[in-house]
Amino acid sequence: MAIGFTPKYVEEIPLNAGEGQAFLVRSVEAVHQLGWKIFQLSESGVIAHTDNGPFYGDSELRVTVEEETVRIESSSLGSEMVDWGRNKKNVDQFLAVYNELKPLSAEELSFKYELLKTDFVAPEADVLKLPPATTAESIKEFFYIFRPVNGYVVTPVLMYLNILVFIIMAIAGVNVFEPTTESLLSWGANFRPLTLEGQSWRLLTNCFLHIGVLHLLMNMYALVYIGLLLEPYLGKVRFISAYLLSGITASVASLWWNDLTVSAGASGAIFGMYGVFLAMLTTNHIEKTARKALLTSIMIFVAFNLLNGIRGGIDNAAHIGGLIGGLIIGYAFLPGLKKADDARLKFGAIALMGLLVLTSSFVVYKQIPNDYGIYDRKFAVFTELEAKALAVYELPKDAPKEQLLKGLKEDGRDNWQKSLNIIKELDELNLPEVFHERNVMLKKYCELRIKSYDLAYKAIAENTEKYKDEMLGYNVEIQNLLNELTAQK
């Protein structure tokens, strides 16, 4: 299997003196028998293009006849980076057919060579005589994968969009290696307590954020890889539809599975595209020879990434959700791909998948319990009540007795009782044990405040200091609790 920005396979065969013309004549006959199209014919050799189907793509075979050797090179056409062994197979096929040809007599050889000469290109136009590509030309070839061309538009645009968002975040001050949780959330990461609190747009925006430059580069490599394989076959509309819908299914799966995980990255949507490809590879819609090599490679990629996702810090739920969503979308697209001229099948499948994904996502979204969101809302009320209850300490020392008593009773004790009731409600929520441990401390805090305010009320009402030591003891306990609560934040 050849890998590179133009994958190729080369074989060189020794050639005896005077055998060049015979090899060229027999090479042309072999190309004709294989059904390949001759692109150029010259005294230096022959260039032919294969026809291997949509997923294997076309290759270029160059047979260059030199003085003592024949160089046979098969290289991939288009923008693919992996040939799945196709170029070696092309050379093997060519040599197999060549070796089966009957030997030619001197007269037959001379006659056929003279016929071929009429189709020779001029020496100055002979591509086979051009020097090898320079380093600069090779670098230019590499950058072709970043340039939108016919059949490969959406992939580079998506790549540029992800990179652009990352650059804008960096300019805004987000750390390019280890962005903070706060910065990711402010830019639209997926997080259950926020997403379920009316911020459903995070299901899509998180697909364009990345947790550091390494995360971005890995995802963009995977995107380009699958885009080169899949976009020319699906087309722009199907490809972008599958990408966005898979991204949503990945985000919903993450939302359903994770309680407090901050999720970001294009990997869920990219896994969806691999799911689309897997769906096609499990049918007879792709030629059998291509199917085996591609299916093995894609399965290895998926399995490796899912196993790697078992370790902490990786949102495997999004990967699995995207993959399953992509599989379903891929199967839905198949009828339209088999009847490429039927626009109703094409757009009908896209509309159906859009409706299915959005409807099912809405149902799941509404069914996911948001105890964390409830906790945040009610705790915000608790904080407001606490502030009102503590406001009594801001009254001047010479305030009228009635005002002090009213502050301790209505603004103080009553609000502490309301706060205590809220904490009891919060303790009924399905939350991790650490929240319940904190609730125990908060309940004790409220109870101590109530006792302290009751004693203060009695001290003022009775105009006595006999409760002073007891109040001081409560205040010490309260301060110790506050120190513990602060240490937990």
Q: Which residues are catalytic?
A: 267, 319
Token reading at 389: 């209850």
Strand order in the sheet with 45-49: 8-14, 69-76, 59-65, 45-49, 37-42
Is there a contact between 61 and 86 (Cβ–Cβ < 8 Å)?
no
The H-or-E segment that residue 71 falls in is strand 69-76
- Round to whole Å and give the CA distance between 29 and 98: 8
Is there a contact between 353 and 245 (Cβ–Cβ < 8 Å)?
yes
- Round to whole Å and give the CA distance between 269 and 318: 9
Is there a contact between 461 and 435 (Cβ–Cβ < 8 Å)?
no
Cα-Cα-Cα-Cα torsion 380, 381, 383, 385, nearest 10 degrees, comes to: 170
Query: What residues contact residue 330 under an 8 Å CB cut-off, 6+ apart?
Result: 242, 275, 276, 277, 278, 279, 280
Kind of pairing, strands 8-14 and 69-76? antiparallel
The H-or-E segment that residue 48 falls in is strand 45-49
Phi, psi of 33 (to 5 degrees): -65, -30
- Round to whole Å and give the CA distance between 237 and 471: 72
